[in-house]
Structure 1
Amino acid sequence: MRTPLLLPLTIMVFLGALPAGIALAQASETPSIESSGEEEGDFLFIPGIGRIPLPPGTRALGPGQGGRDVDSERRAPAAAAPPPPKDPAQQRAEEMARLYLRLEQAEDEREAKGVSAAILSRWAHSESDTINLLAARALAADAAGAPPLALKLLDYVVALSPQWTEGYVQRAKVRAEQGDDSGAIADLETAATLEPKRFDALAALGALKEKTGDKKGSLAAYRKSLAISPRQESLQKIEERLHIEVEGRDI
């Protein structure tokens, strides 16, 4: 039979406090939740008093617990740490990979042109504000009919940022306009080496090589461009014509 003292204590434990006049075995010890298995259930252990069975789902309040649901906290899994932020270079690489895949799988030329425009705009942007400014001024100089100034500016662009393929592509364009086919071919080959996915540089390279009489090299460049961007209908026709000229008709 429960003693008169134990009944009030049980009620007070569930209310979350004990009278100051009742001394526990050790003042520094705090109640704790214990479990004896699924069949027997949980207990609230109070030093000096013993274990008190807790009904399922009981919200036990005790010293230092501040009304927290101890039973839920004990069972809740630890929250997973958030993943570290991606490096900007990694983000750019992943984005470009998705665009290349979309370009390769485009259903028609219209879709391919939209994806190509997105890729070209990203190639045209450097991570350096200085390089972007010099390149913009070079384009403006070329459009204004001052190719010598444009070439000088693009020489600075290539010297300051030798890994930026757009600098070589832009300089190749100006060189070709000035009749420097060999210089333009060299720039386009450099761009295609630094970025093998530059389908625009490969297509331009094919045109220049065909112009200079290197039909075999031209055909190879066209095919590389079409492998990256298959929905270039005008380039497909050129490749078919050159294929017959260089390799003959298929048997």
Structure 2
Amino acid sequence: MRTPLLLPLTIVVFLGALPAGIALAAASETPSIESLGEEEGDFLFIPGIGRIPLPPGTRALGPGQGGRDVDPERRAPAAAAPPPPKDPAQQRAEEMARLYLRLEQAEDEREAKGVSAAILSRWAHSESDTINLLAARALAADAAGAPPLALKLLDYVVALSPQWTEGYVQRAKVRAEQGDDSGAIADLETAATLEPKRFDALAALGALKAKTGDKKGALAAYRKSLAIAPQQESLQKIEERLHIEVEGRDI
């Protein structure tokens, strides 16, 4: 621990022990602190008296020094302030960006399936508990053979959370099962517009457009899906076949 030295009081006591003439001369000047390096140490210089060695680690509280250390370089550096916490939306965006990159760079279909499952699980989760509850009940209704109820619940989901792409994807699935291809296509196009990385919506969109005879539109949708998730072997084969049908064989 460094020992504080209150210089003004020290000087008064010290000067009181000196002859009057020397004390008067010394008191008329302002004392100062001098440092001669690590080997020599620090000194209190009093005009008319000379240098007085200071004990190691002494903290000088002399005139005009305001409690500063004799050697500021000896002070420990102040701890850096911690960075402000990231916004949850920013954290989510950064996490999704990392997953998209992993999906694009996956070396095989097995790796791609693991990454795509992680992405799909995040898309399936809304920030609203109400939306999550409605969507879960819609899925349960569809699985129980009640598609009209599922569609009604999903209509509420889309109305309450129009930016949540999963609502459109789920409704498109139920609509397609009920033979409403145009409604399903509209929902999938909306989902792909809101989230251009929705490779699942693009793949489903390609299948529906191919079913309705729009082979060119199907080919475009498949290619967009493959650009995001290249390791889709079955989709690659479909894209190759449609490429020949729509654009002909490469010369």
The alignment's TM-score, normalised by the length of structure 1, stands at 0.79
- Which stretch has the larger CA shift, 166-175 or 26-35? 26-35
- Which stretch has the larger CA shift, 35-44 or 12-21? 12-21
Show the counterpart of 1:68.
68
Separation of aligned partners in 2, 1:185 and 1:129: 27
Quote the offset at 1:79 in angstroms.
1.6
Separation of aligned partners in 2, 1:4 and 1:234: 79
Q: Percent identity?
A: 97
Quote the offset at 1:98 in angstroms.
0.3
- Which stretch has the larger CA shift, 216-225 or 76-85? 76-85
Quote the offset at 1:27 in angstroms.
14
Query: Are 1:166 and 2:174 an aligned pair?
Result: no
Quote the offset at 1:52 in angstroms.
2.8
Show the counterpart of 1:190.
190
Cα 1:192–1:37, aligned 2, differ >3 Å: closer, same or farther?
Answer: same
Q: Is the 8 A contact 1:12 1:18 kept in 2?
A: no
Quote the offset at 1:80 in angstroms.
1.1
Consecutive unaligned residues of structure 1, counting only runs of 5 or more, are none
Figure out how many residues of one structure are paired with residues of the other and give that number: 251
SS at match of 1:82: coil
Cα 1:249–1:30, aligned 2, differ >3 Å: closer, same or farther?
Answer: farther
SS at match of 1:43: strand
- Which stretch has the larger CA shift, 1-10 or 169-178? 1-10
Q: Is the 8 A contact 2:96 2:119 kept in 1?
A: yes
Separation of aligned partners in 1, 2:2 and 2:114: 82
Q: Is the 8 A contact 2:5 2:61 kept in 1?
A: no
Quote the offset at 1:101 in angstroms.
0.3
Q: Is the 8 A contact 1:16 1:62 kept in 2?
A: no
Cα 1:17–1:53, aligned 2, differ >3 Å: closer, same or farther?
Answer: same
Show the counterpart of 1:87.
87
- Pairwise mapping of residues 22-171 of structure 1 onto structure 2 (< 5 A)? 34-35=34-35, 41-44=41-44, 51-54=51-54, 74-171=74-171
Quote the offset at 1:53 in angstroms.
3.1
Over the aligned positions, Cα root-mean-square deviation in angstroms equals: 6.5
Quote the offset at 1:12 in angstroms.
15
Consecutive unaligned residues of structure 2, counting only runs of 5 or more, are none
Q: Is the 8 A contact 2:8 2:63 kept in 1?
A: no
SS at match of 2:200: helix
